[in-house]
Structures are given as structure tokens and as C-alpha cells.
């Protein structure tokens, strides 16, 4: 993480965007120091760490893993899924991302069936369209998630922002995954 200032210009701050517990705490500490709020930043870092500890304790008692497919949106009635983009939050929640490839891909029915998701995760704002399209997709209905109609919708920034709300979002997802279909 670094800051670059060009003469008579606005400073540009480069912050590590790694989606991990350690990186979230480190960038929070860095930004708090950058804006002159080290004490408040230290408290926020302690709070974030405490919430990650709560997530770890919950997962220790609920060790089951499910295959969670993140659907970004629907494109021509086919799911556009995210590989690495949502992988970190799925992993934090104790799930396994069956689409752990880089970038985004639009899946046909055969690929969707082959991924065998136990649950589909999507952003709240796109949930009605994703739900309607997936439930109408014959391939999706052949997957474990399709048979149980397990589609989890969460607020997008909270889910994928990798900031102070990340441990709570991961715990919420973990609890959804622990709920019997």
C-alpha cells in the first residue's frame, strides 16, 4: 500500500485489495493512519478481528461444506457465474466454489449440471431475475440446488466489498448453507 502525490494534484492511494482476513485488517489500519484516525482504526480492526473469530468459532461447530455457485446475473437466460471474484467469501463461509476459474463465464445447461451446486448465491438486487430464470432452466433443476430451489440472495456490496462487514456477511452465508433444504 502506498500513496503517490504529484505536485499540485490530488494524492492517489494504492491499497491492497486482496480478499482475505489479514488484508482487510491491514488496509483498514493503513487507511485509518492515512486519514489520521489511528485510534479509531485500531478499534475498528479489533472489531473486525473479533467478528472473524466469531465466524471461525461458528464454522468449527458447523464444519459441513457445500458447493456454492455464485451467479452474477443472467445473460440470454443463461447464468453468468463468477470464478475467483466470489471465491473468497464462499470459502470464508465454509463453502466450496465449483466454478473456481478466473473471471466470469456464461454457462450452458450441460456445464451447469456438471458443476453440481448445492446452492446458488446471487446479489439481492438481481435475485428476482436470477431466481425466475434458474427455476425455469431444465439443467439447473437437475442440480442439487435446483432440486431444493436453494438460491441465496445477499446485498452485493456487503457480500463482495471485502471490508469491515465481510465477516458478518460470511457468517450470514455460512448460516444459510447450514440450513437444511
CATH number at residue 171: 3.40.50.1980
Please tell me the predicted confidence (pLDDT) of residue 9. Answer: 75
Please tell me the predicted confidence (pLDDT) of residue 181. Answer: 59
Tell me: do 92 and 142 sit in the same domain. yes
As given in the structure block, the three cell numbers for residue 30 are 493503513
User: Which of 45, 61, 77 marks a domain boundary?
Assistant: 61
The Cα 67–Cα 30 span in angstroms is: 35
Per-residue pLDDT band at 5 (split at 50, 70, 90): low
Tell me: do 112 and 36 sit in the same domain. no
Please tell me the predicted confidence (pLDDT) of residue 3. Answer: 61
Tell me: do 76 and 150 sit in the same domain. yes
Please tell me the predicted confidence (pLDDT) of residue 82. Answer: 83
pLDDT > 90? residue 47: yes
> Domain limits at 139?
68-178
Amino acid at each position: 500500500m502506498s500513496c503517490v502525490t504529484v505536485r499540485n494534484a490530488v494524492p492517489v492511494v494504492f491499497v491492497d485489495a486482496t480478499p482475505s482476513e489479514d488484508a482487510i485488517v491491514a488496509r483498514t489500519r493503513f487507511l485509518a493512519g492515512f486519514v489520521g484516525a489511528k485510534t479509531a482504526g485500531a478499534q475498528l480492526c479489533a472489531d473486525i478481528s473479533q467478528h472473524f473469530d466469531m465466524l471461525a468459532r461458528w464454522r468449527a461447530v458447523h464444519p459441513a461444506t457445500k458447493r456454492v455457485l455464485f451467479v452474477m446475473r443472467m445473460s440470454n437466460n443463461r447464468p453468468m457465474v463468477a470464478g475467483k471474484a466470489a471465491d473468497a467469501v464462499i470459502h470464508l463461509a465454509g463453502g466450496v466454489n465449483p466454478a473456481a476459474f478466473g473471471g466470469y463465464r456464461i454457462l450452458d445447461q450441460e456445464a451447469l449440471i456438471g458443476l453440481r451446486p448445492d446452492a446458488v448465491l446471487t446479489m439481492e438486487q438481481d435475485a428476482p431475475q436470477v431466481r425466475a430464470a434458474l427455476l425455469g432452466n431444465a439443467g439447473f433443476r437437475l442440480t442439487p440446488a435446483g432440486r431444493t430451489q436453494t438460491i441465496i440472495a445477499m446485498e452485493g456490496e456487503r457480500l463482495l466489498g471485502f471490508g469491515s462487514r465481510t465477516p458478518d456477511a460470511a457468517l450470514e452465508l455460512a448460516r444459510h448453507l447450514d440450513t437444511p433444504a
